Chains A and B, each alone.
Chain A
Amino acid sequence: MQINELETKARQVRRLIVQMLEKAGSGHPGGSLSSADIMSVLFFHVLRHDARRPRDPNRDRFHLSKGHCCPVWYAVLSECGYFPQEELWNLRRLGAMLQGHPDTHVPGVDVASGSLGQGLSVALGMSLAAKIDARTYRVYCLLGDGEIQEGNVWEAAMAAAHYRCDNLCAVLDYNGFQIDGRVEEVMNIEPIADKWRAFGWHTVVVDGHSIQQLVDAFAKVKGVGGKPSMIIAKTVKGKAVSFMEHVVDFHGRVPTKEEAARALQELSDER
């Protein structure tokens, strides 16, 4: 997909996030919006996958480690045709396929996610399985910045480097906020690029809202051999909805009906 097409897709993904969360009445808009560009580039450009064959053993794998931001995952999966868009409007309802945190009832979701800090390990397992079977699929994993305060993440980081998982690419959605406030105030994670490099990862830092930079970064890290790659994507929490940007409250508060209408106006293709 071309850069401008991906930008249009990302706007559509953001509209779906706002709509499904407003309808659901609860959920996590901030981190879903901050990762919308990353996820659009991944699902509409980078990943080799086919919604008609969600169990294809050779498909590229994606795992969302920050499971609470599943609205963005649900949005891209439905846009790719994994399930009908109508499912989005049942998010978080009793009996719905789309749970508040993702599980394997959703086509395209291979392992449940939600308890933070575990997803990179899951992705590591997928990467090791490819090595055993000499398959060429790649594994992508999206992590949150608050999430990497979990010790389990660093266990996975150490192991992925140890086992030279060059088919594994992690992305850090570095929006700078977690529920209790600014990441640097709650529990500082800096110097974060140095940490990943010290753990043996090929590490690059990009603007997580520049489609071009993301496209280039994913293309480049594909060629890195002998070690896993980390793309640190600097993002803005609540990105592209003016009154949600940088507002910690929108980590876990959904827009009201009026706020959603305003947001959709801002996210319109005809602005």
Chain B
Amino acid sequence: MSGESVYQREVYGKTLVELGRENKNIVVLDADLSGSTRTALFAREFPERFFNFGVAEQNMMAAAAGLASCGKIVFASTFAMFATGRAWDQVRNCICYSNMDVKIVATHAGITVGPDGATHQALEDIALMRVIPNMRVFVPADGPQTRDAVMAALHLPGPVYIRLGRDKVPSHAHPAAFVPGVAETMADGTDIAVFACGIMVRHALEARQTLLQEGIQCAVINIHTIKPIDQAAIILAVQRVKGVVICEEHSVIGGLGGAVEEVLAGCGYPVKIARIGVHSRFGQSGSPADLLKEYRLAPADIAVEARQLLTS
């Protein structure tokens, strides 16, 4: 089911170098985390088009808007917590309001940041970015999809937020090419539809295998674009099943779940929904595996919710 495990951020850094060779207009910014976000790969190749802002994310985001106003395509990277939390006002007022060509590629999102604990585990970033007009939000599921998302962002005028994790993730066999705003059906099923993004796509596929042995058929839909969300795919999927499980490594408030429920609330189709995500809690230190269990984000937790939907 899954292929080689890679760091999404490693893929990001390499993709930047590749794009930087072809497109001289690309400028990359970081805030003292270029080793972690892997923008250092670009910095090494194109030092004249890379700027380290030090530990100053607000300055980086507003300066990104200034660079973009002069025709540059700017990739700005740091950890998801600081890109979206610390610099939210700059992202909203300088980048998005002026519809600037700034691609915010944030790494270390979610609980699987692990031992660094709550201050570094962004569980609100999708909500914070999705709410801003003009902003698009991509949450690629693995390395290959990260490459596709970065490429797609380059060719879309205006701001984009791309959410990446810290850990290595196994690569999927993707049934479809990455098209922004078009959900990817990873597997079909008639009992439960699982909507997932990021690492939760893999968890959903693992849960699907478990449930198959019990005769439960799950569709798994990778909602790699949270905004604009694929309303048609969501509505089509729920009409074929008896229940929906939404899975995200993010707060259940305002993220993928919020976005899917906004679609479902408006479509008038009655369906039971279970939510896998962080329920208004802060994270904490621990190994990624332990944290996934503690916060009920593991494949087994998805299977529990699916079974419950079919029996309740």
Contact = CB atoms under 8 A, between A and B. Distances in A.
A115 B66 CA distance: 15
Interface in B89-132: 89-90, 92-94, 97-100
Contact of A118 (B53, B70, B93): B93
Interface string B18-62: 000000000100000000000000000000110101101011111
B72 interface: yes
A128 B67 contact: yes
A110 B63 CA distance: 13
A155 interface: yes
A63 interface: yes
A233 interface: no
Interface string A81-124: 00000000000000000000001100000111111011101111
Interface string B178-221: 00000000000000000000000000000000000000000000
Interface stretch (A16-24, A156-164, A187-195, A198-206): A156-164
A122 B58 contact: no
B255 to A, nearest CB: 25
A200 to B, nearest CB: 14
Contacts of B58: 117-118, 121, 151-152, 155
B71 to A, nearest CB: 7
A123 B99 CA distance: 17
Contacts of B69: 110-111, 122, 125-126, 129
Chain A interface main SS type:
helix
Contacts of B71: 57, 129
Nearest to A67: B93
Given A103-B97, A112-B94, A112-B97, A124 B66 contact: yes
A152 B62 contact: yes
B140 to A, nearest CB: 27
Contact of B89 (A103, A111, A115, A158): A115
Contacts of A121: 58-63, 66, 90, 94
A38 B49 CA distance: 33
A155 B59 contact: yes
A1 interface: no
Interface string A34-60: 000000000000000000000001000
Contacts of A130: 70
Contact of B70 (A57, A117, A158): A57
A126 B67 contact: yes
A60 to B, nearest CB: 12
Interface of A: 57, 61, 63, 103-104, 110-115, 117-119, 121-130, 132-133, 151-152, 155-156, 158-159, 162-163
Given A118-B58, A121-B62, A126-B69, 19 more contacts: A110-B69, A111-B94, A111-B98, A118-B90, A121-B60, A121-B61, A121-B63, A122-B69, A123-B66, A125-B68, A126-B66, A126-B67, A128-B51, A132-B48, A133-B70, A152-B59, A155-B53, A156-B63, A159-B53
25 contacts: A61-B70, A104-B98, A111-B66, A112-B93, A112-B94, A113-B93, A121-B60, A121-B61, A122-B63, A122-B66, A124-B63, A126-B66, A128-B66, A129-B72, A132-B48, A152-B62, A152-B90, A156-B62, A156-B63, A158-B56, A159-B53, A159-B54, A159-B56, A162-B54, A163-B51
